[in-house]
Amino acid sequence: MDNNDIIRVENVSKGYPNHPVLQNLSLTLKKGECFTLLGPSGCGKTVLLRLLAGFESADAGKIYIGDTLVNDPEARIAVPPENRGLGVVFQDYAVWPHMTVFENVAYPLKIADRPKDEINERVMRMIDIVGMKGLDKRLPSELSGGQQQRVALARALVADPALLLLDEPLSNLDANLREEMRFEIKELQKKLGVTVLYVTHDQEIGLAISDRVAIMNAEGAIQQIGTPWEIFEKPVNPFVFNFMGIANFIDVRRDGGAFLVGNGNQPMPWETPAGDAVEWVAAFRPSDVKIARNGGGLRGVIRRANFLGAMMDYLIEIDGTHLRTSLETHHAIAQDLMFKAGDECSLSFLSLHWFEKEALKGVLEE
């Protein structure tokens, strides 16, 4: 194995009676990277982390951490969690309420039977690193949600793990704190040089803090692995595209050499796809549509206009197919783009992705 790899998962399967979760999953993490695994609720993210942490054994396949084979059911190898050298913060793995901040953070070192002086020094240093200086004698009930998360992080990091597994560690925080904490996690990762595997269904986190992202579908199969930019700009299929934010899909059909929108006769004003399929969808995000009263591009009709404060949200029909777009209200006012239902408009695109319509089946039924 490449000694730059810190995790290698090879063809791992895991299921419960009548319920396969992971099938033949493979994944490699490089030392020092911040890697996010993104997928919808119930797809098997926590199950994968439990396998990596050693709380459960795979049904088949191999898991390496560093150079060590830690799980191989065929060879009856299952290294226990405490011997895997990992820090873990689980989704619902709260701090212990009857222990002070100090005692919570000290716990992994106590279990490892470290001398008292060393424990004292390392715990106080870690409490300082996560920004909790002076709060070491408090009980969790005397802390805010964000402070409790910091304690959980400090506890996961105090034994200097080479690898930190984070399972939705910010899900109990309000939106502002969540945003702040995710950058703090990134800072910590850089400061300590630890490899992070972050598991979440929040795509913004994936984009904000990761070196690489993996997208998993509801069946627990990895669809794409890449940098945040690659995942956002070069999605390999409509599932990935749809998962990374609000997506629009309009119907386009091949008619001889032309690609016509909906059931009408307007050609698509953009590069057209290669491939023989007759039925296509053109996919784009609301921010990729340019709307005007008159101009080039497609002609459409506003079917619904919603004022959302800072934004105007429009539902637009083009020859039987629909799309949604939004623009800033002040921009709409300044540019005479305050439409009402029934108004005509013209549309062009800044960016488009083409998928065969066949590939869309199952993606939008949510």
Report the residue from 1, 4, 24, 42 that binds ligand ATP according to the rule CB under 6 A: 42
Supply the minimum distance, in Å, between the C-beta of residue 88 and Mg ion: 13
Number of residues that bind Mg ion (CB under 5 A): 2
Q: Is 16 in the site for ligand ATP (CB under 6 A)?
A: yes
Q: Which of 44, 61, 146, 161 binds ligand ATP (CB under 6 A)?
A: 44
**CA atoms of 39 and 200, how far apart (whole Å):** 7
Closest CA to 146 of 179, 168, 173: 173
Pick the binder of ligand ATP from 6, 10, 29, 45 (CB under 6 A). Answer: 45
Stretch that binds ligand ATP, among 45-53, 57-65, 279-287, 335-343 (CB under 6 A): 45-53
Q: Which is nearer to Mg ion, 45 or 84 (CB)?
A: 45
Q: Which of 13, 23, 28, 46 binds ligand ATP (CB under 6 A)?
A: 46
- Complex with ligand ATP: residue 58 or 129, whichever CB lies closer: 58
CB 352 within 8 A of CB 282: yes
46 binds Mg ion (CB under 5 A): yes
Tokens 């150079």, located at residue: 67
CB of 73 to ligand ATP, least distance (A): 17
Q: How far is CA 213 from CA 173, 189, 207, 260, in A?
A: 23, 16, 8, 35
Site for ligand ATP in 78-117 (CB under 6 A): 91
Asked whether position 8 contacts ligand ATP by CB under 6 A, the answer is no
Name the 3-class secondary structure at 95: coil
For residues 173-212, which are near ligand ATP according to CB under 6 A?
A: 201
The b-or-e profile of 101-130 (16+ CB within 10 A means b, else e) is bbbbbbbbbeeeebeeeebeebbeebbebb
Q: Which is nearer to ligand ATP, 56 or 317 (CB)?
A: 56
Q: Does 281 bind ligand ATP (CB under 6 A)?
A: no
Q: β-strands 19-30, 5-16: how paired?
A: antiparallel
Whichever of 239 and 249 has its CB closer to ligand ATP, that residue is: 239
Single out the residue of 337, 334, 350 nearest to residue 292, CA to CA. 337
Q: Which residues pair with 213 in a beta bridge?
A: 36, 226
**DSSP percent split of the chain into helix, strand, coil, nearest 5:** 30, 35, 35
- Per CB under 5 A, 23 contacts Mg ion: no
d(CA 281, CA 39): 23
Enumerate binding residues for ligand ATP (CB under 6 A).
16, 19, 21, 39, 41-47, 91, 201
Enumerate binding residues for Mg ion (CB under 5 A).
45-46
